[in-house]
Amino acid sequence: MSHTAQAVALTCIDFRFRKALHDFFENELNLYAVDHMAIGGGVKQLIENEGELRDFIYKNFDIAVNLHKVNKVILINHQDCGAYGGTAAFQSPEVEITEQEVYLRHAVSAVHAKYPDKQVEAYLALIDSDNNITFKKVI
Ligand SMILES: [Zn+2]
């Protein structure tokens, strides 16, 4: 039996974003078949780790690309991520957003270098004091 997916997505594990992420895939991106890979810190593990965790992520991307024939890789980090020390670790929420966008752009470059014929997109999930979640397209 053959089964194909539309995209593979790498996100953080943070439970606060799970439902919003799936709604975002379906309602905003029109993606109904997504290989969703979650790892604490999201792209942090892709760009800061040289070893096993990075290889683990790429092994999963390879499965999505080779077995499920995805044409798109989506990278999503989120505001107030514990792996980066939360929002409190940054001078301001604006600085946090800017720095997260730098991480995401870096990760997009790395993934695109590995899969040059695939689309690679990045979003930052923003969360407000009422836990409302919105998605900002980074690249
Ligand atoms: Zn997180």
- Residue 2 in any domain: the answer is no
Give pLDDT, residue 77: 98
Characterize 30-55 residue by residue with b for buried, 16 or more Cβ atoms within 10 angstroms of its Cβ, and e for exposed: ebeebbbbbbebbbbbbbeeeeebee
- How many domains in the chain? 1
Residue 135 has pLDDT above 80, yes or no: yes
Q: Distance, CA 73 to ligand 1 centroid (Å)?
A: 19
Neighbours of ion ligand 1 (CB under 5 A): 12, 14, 81
Q: Specify if 1 maps to a domain.
A: no
6: nearest Cα among 121, 110, 101, 113: 121
Q: Could you list the residue range(s) of the whole structural domain that residue 101 is in? A: 7-137
Give the CATH number, domain containing residue 79: 3.40.1050.10
Ligand 1 centroid to residue 86 C-alpha, Å: 8
Question: What is the model's pLDDT at position 136?
Answer: 98
Closest C-alpha among 119, 118, 122 to residue 138: 122
For the stretch 74-130, pLDDT in tens is 999 999 999 999 999 999 999 999 999 999 999 999 999 999 999 999 999 999 999
- Centre of ligand 1 from the C-alpha of residue 112, in Å: 23
CA 100 to chain centre: 11
Q: Do the domain assignments include residue 47? A: yes
The model's pLDDT over 1-34, given as tens digits with 9 standing for 90+, comes to: 668 999 999 999 999 999 999 999 999 999 999 9
